[in-house]
Chains A and B, each alone.
Chain A
């Protein structure tokens, strides 16, 4: 669980998580934006289906994989959230068509 410091400054960005409207700050990565919106698990693994959440926040662990604007297996911690972005949590293996 993460929460924003009360005096954190920045522009608001509107986007969606699994179709629901959500808000972030303009400098947030997608992974940070998920945490800020109370999302605690962003995917399940392709090997055992275990739930995972971002672990390193620096592009190393690949546990932050999500579907961004219909493209699967995107590293949420390496992509900045953009207005209107559609973020979806991911179940197991990515589908080839997305």
Chain B
């Protein structure tokens, strides 16, 4: 019988590393699980082993990751890299798969720190080879020192797009053009939040980065339509500025980005309630100030509980860990609140200016609600037009369109179509995404083999449910 850890943390990004470090240092038995082979999460990917040795390429924000990994290594927490978590039961048993073998790992409290993923950016042609996420290109840079070559076009909006451009330039890579899709009116809407933004840490760094990129790369602004074209792979990008005419750019690589959204699949499959965040236009698990979800014993820290960025993720990790200590009976409420005070303050500081960024970089409607001929579900190759047809047949939400069209039934389990499908249905019905809802997910949230599933322990009553009814 496996021992039951006091605390299991899933995800070794800033939130998970900080949570596990704090908890283990205070003496609770802690395990950190992550599917990556090394710690760092998305932002600090490959921090311990990147082949990119020149520190100025990835920038100092990246190297801050080392400040989290060091203390974690010394904390006494157990670490199981290469562990894919595919289920968490109501009894807090974690189903994980490691080196081709599945097992169940029980815990008394679980913190999900599974982070964010790039918001799906469905444009015609986005399934062509040569089109990928800007975040994906960044992962190739961090883990392998690979940069796109030939004609490289970046398109979209959001801080990560500009950061990647900056990192590419630092690395000596070439970018032909940046197609900036930030709608003009976003500036007007963001202005009221400017003062707060000016007091944040982003402004200096952000501006410098933006100016440097703009100086070196041609930027086409106010882009209102995008299409990737090519025979067997991307060869050109067709775009339109405002109401202007279409123009075409040659492209060997098109890197798309319009922000990140929480990775909610595991929380959803556990049964945690979630709500639609209108400001960030995405689903977020419903959590309290400590990251506690509606399921007893499960909390969420970091971007997985709503996008707030890497520094905030760290502090949210520590807050969730303190609350876990309290729930485990290790500290009383007063001690939790007292110890949390500096982290709360730091969190507030880290979140300053977030509303400005969210408002400014909110993707335009036409990119969130694609045209009929655009594929929205990459796995089952279902178009936005088919989703609209299903709405006409009476489908009122994504679970019905899923059963009518197989949209969301493929191996990605809706991660790459869910947000778009919700928006398309909401738009077609003329109601809010909140009313439309989201996929109801079930384990396994990541594929495991049938043989792995078959190898799990079974109770007599579970066997009888199948074999002796």
Interface residues of A (CB under 8 A from B): 1-5, 7-10, 25, 27-29, 32, 35-36, 40-41, 45, 47-48, 50-63, 73, 77-78, 80
Q: Would you call A61 and B145 a contact (CB within 8 A)?
A: no
B136 lies within 8 A of A58 (CB): yes
Contact sample, A vs B, 6 pairs, CB 8 Å cutoff: A1-B148, A5-B51, A5-B57, A7-B53, A8-B51, A53-B233
Task: Tell whether, in the assembled complex, residue A52 and residue B129 are in contact, meaning their CB atoms are under 8 Å apart.
Answer: yes
Chain B residues with CB under 8 A of A58: 42, 117, 135-136, 139
Measured CB to CB, the closest approach of chain A to B153, in angstroms, equals: 13
Q: Which of A52, A54, A55 has the most CB of B within 10 A?
A: A55
Contacts of B130 in A (CB 8 A): 1, 40, 53
Does B379 interact with chain A (Cβ within 8 Å)?
A: yes
Cα separation A47 to B405 with both chains bound (whole Å): 13
Q: Are B132 and A54 in contact (CB under 8 A)?
A: yes
**Inter-subunit contact B381/A50 (CB<8 Å):** yes
Residues 407 to 435 of chain B near chain A (Cβ within 8 Å): 410-412, 415-416
Residues A51 and B147 in contact, CB atoms below 8 Å apart: no
Q: Is the CB of A47 within 8 A of B380?
A: yes
- With A2-B146, A36-B144 known, 8 other A-B pairs at CB within 8 A are A1-B130, A10-B51, A28-B144, A55-B416, A57-B133, A58-B139, A60-B416, A78-B84
Chain A residues in 8 Å Cβ range of B314: none
Q: Would you call the interface of chain A mostly helix, strand, loop, or mixed?
A: loop
- Nearest first, the 7 A-B pairs at minimum CB distance are A8-B145, A53-B129, A57-B136, A8-B51, A62-B411, A57-B139, A32-B144
**Residues of chain A contacted by B358 (CB below 8 angstroms):** none
A59 surroundings in chain B (CB, below 8 A):
35, 446
Identify which of B53, B171, B378 contacts A55 (C-beta below 8 A). Answer: B378
Q: How many B residues, CB 8 Å from partner?
A: 52
Interface contact B381-A40, CB-CB below 8 Å:
no
Q: Give the distance to chain A from B268, nearest Cβ to Cβ, in Å.
A: 14
> What's the nearest-Cβ distance from chain B to residue A89, in Å?
11
Asked whether, in the complex, the Cβ of B133 is within 8 Å of the Cβ of A5, the reply is no
Q: Is A55 in contact with B133, judged by CB distance below 8 angstroms?
A: yes
B150 to A, closest residue via Cβ:
A1
Contact of A41 among B54, B149, B232, B253 (CB under 8 A): B232
Q: Which residues of B contact A32 (CB under 8 A)?
A: 140, 143-144, 146
How many angstroms between the C-alpha atoms of A40 and B231 in the bound complex? 13
B323 at the interface (CB under 8 A from A): no
Q: B127, B129, B263, B379: which has the most chain A beta carbons within 10 Å?
A: B129
Kindly state the separation between the CA atoms of A23 and B169 in the bound complex, as whole angstroms. 26
**Any chain A CB within 8 A of the CB of B46?**
yes
Query: In the bound complex, what is the Cα–Cα distance between A77 and B146 (angstroms)?
Result: 14
When C-beta atoms are compared, the residue in chain B nearest to A47 turns out to be B381
CB distance from A64 to the nearest CB of B (A): 10
Rounded to whole Å, the gap between the CB of B87 and the closest CB of chain A is: 16
Task: Specify which of A2, A29, A73 is in contact with B148 (CB 8 Å cutoff).
Answer: A2
What residues of B have a CB within 8 angstroms of the CB of A54 in the complex? 132, 136
Query: Which residue of chain A lies nearest to B151 when distances are taken between CB atoms in the complex?
Result: A1
Tell me whether B37 is interfacial, beta carbon within 8 Å: yes
Flag B138-176 by CB within 8 Å of A: 1 or 0 each: 011001111111100000000000000000000111000
Whether B378 pairs with A63 at a CB distance below 8 angstroms is: yes
Q: Which of A9, A25, A58, A80 has the most CB of B within 10 A?
A: A58
Q: Name which residue of chain A comes closest to B139, CB basis.
A: A57
Contacts of B328 in A (CB 8 A): none
| With known contacts A27-B49, A57-B136, A58-B42, A41–B129 Cβ distance under 8 A | yes
Contact across chains for A1 and B140 when beta carbons are under 8 A apart: no
Q: Is the CB of B415 within 8 A of A60?
A: yes
B208 shortest CB reach to chain A, Å = 23
Task: Give the residues from 388 to 420 in chain B that come closer than 8 angstroms, CB to CB, to chain A.
Answer: 410-412, 415-416
Q: How far, in whole Å, are A8 and B46 apart by their CA atoms in the complex? A: 13
Chain B neighbourhood of A47, CB < 8 A: 379-381
How far, in whole Å, are A77 and B142 apart by their CA atoms in the complex? 13
Cα-based distance from A36 to B140 in the complex (angstroms): 10
Residues from chain B with a CB closer than 8 A to the CB of A56 are 117-118, 132-133, 135-136, 416
Does B131 touch A at the CB level, under 8 Å? yes
B453 within 8 A of A: no
Beta-carbon contacts of B29-71 to A below 8 Å, as 1s and 0s?
0000001010000100010011111100100000000000000
CA of A31 to CA of B410, assembled, Å: 20
Residue on B with the closest CB to A39?
B129
